[in-house]
Amino acid sequence: MSIKDNLDRIMNELPARVKLVAVSKFHPVERLMEAYNAGQRLFGENRPQEFAAKVPLMPADVQWHFIGHLQTNKLKLVLPHASLVESVDSMHLLEAINAWGAANGKVVPILLELHLGAEETKHGFSEKDIFEIFRVRAVPSLKNLEFRGLMGMATNTEDEAVIEADFARIEALFNRIREEFPELRDTFTELSIGMSGDWPLAVKHGATIVRIGTDIFGEREY
């Protein structure tokens, strides 16, 4: 199957309201261009250096999401080019991105990453952390951030019940925040869940963004 065939198959199954991020990490620019030539315009990368190296090699109408752990000393590699930083996973990072936005006269669109279930990674906020960010009025003081929604990665398992429980948790949090903070409703609209193995389940649980690598580009060579 070619990259174009893979994209066509996914786009056929994906409801129109769901955006597809083609996760191109570890793949060379020639492969990204195959996806671009098949019509894909939204790409995701998870390592700052690789991200910054690829951006100038791709056409200017490509949109980039950053989806990996971001250290505050790498902001300048990522923030000038990312249309959305999906993986904001700590208060420290939140404040650093806000400060970068203030210094550069920009409002940076971000998603808060919820730490889901049994995932090996320790990155991400708890539900309680996320509520606190909104309840203690941190949001109005973080003027150079736009809170666009939530991101999460389900437990890495074949067990669909476990994956669905993870997605149900983040979906419930997303809906609760929108209910409790109506002033956010116009902008807090994105729920980024679902990857190659589990994206149809994510769509069932309200995904507005899915992040798919392997099902488009094949296995990564690390």
Ligand X SMILES: *Cc1c(COP(=O)(O)O)cnc(C)c1O
Q: By the criterion CB under 6 A, which residues form the site for ligand X? A: 23, 25, 46, 67-68, 153, 195-196, 211-215
Cβ of residue 198: shortest distance to ligand X, in angstroms? 9
Cβ of residue 219: shortest distance to ligand X, in angstroms? 8
Task: Select the residue whose beta carbon is closest to ligand X and give its number.
Answer: 213
CB contact at 8 A, 65 and 90: no
- Name the E strands within 52-203: 63-66, 84-88, 108-114, 145-152, 190-192
Identity of residue 136: V
User: Is the CB of 41 or the CB of 176 nearer to ligand X?
Assistant: 41
Cβ of residue 152: shortest distance to ligand X, in angstroms? 9
User: Is the CB of 147 or the CB of 199 nearer to ligand X?
Assistant: 199
Cβ of residue 106: shortest distance to ligand X, in angstroms? 23
CB contact at 8 A, 100 and 79: yes
| Residue 32, both tokens | 């990204």
DSSP secondary structure of 9-61: HHHHHS-TTSEEEEE-TTS-HHHHHHHHHTT--EEEE--HHHHHHHGGGS-TT
Strand 19-23 with 209-212, pairing: parallel
User: Is the CB of 23 or the CB of 116 nearer to ligand X?
Assistant: 23
Cβ of residue 122: shortest distance to ligand X, in angstroms? 14
User: Is the CB of 50 or the CB of 164 nearer to ligand X?
Assistant: 50
User: Is the CB of 34 or the CB of 215 nearer to ligand X?
Assistant: 215
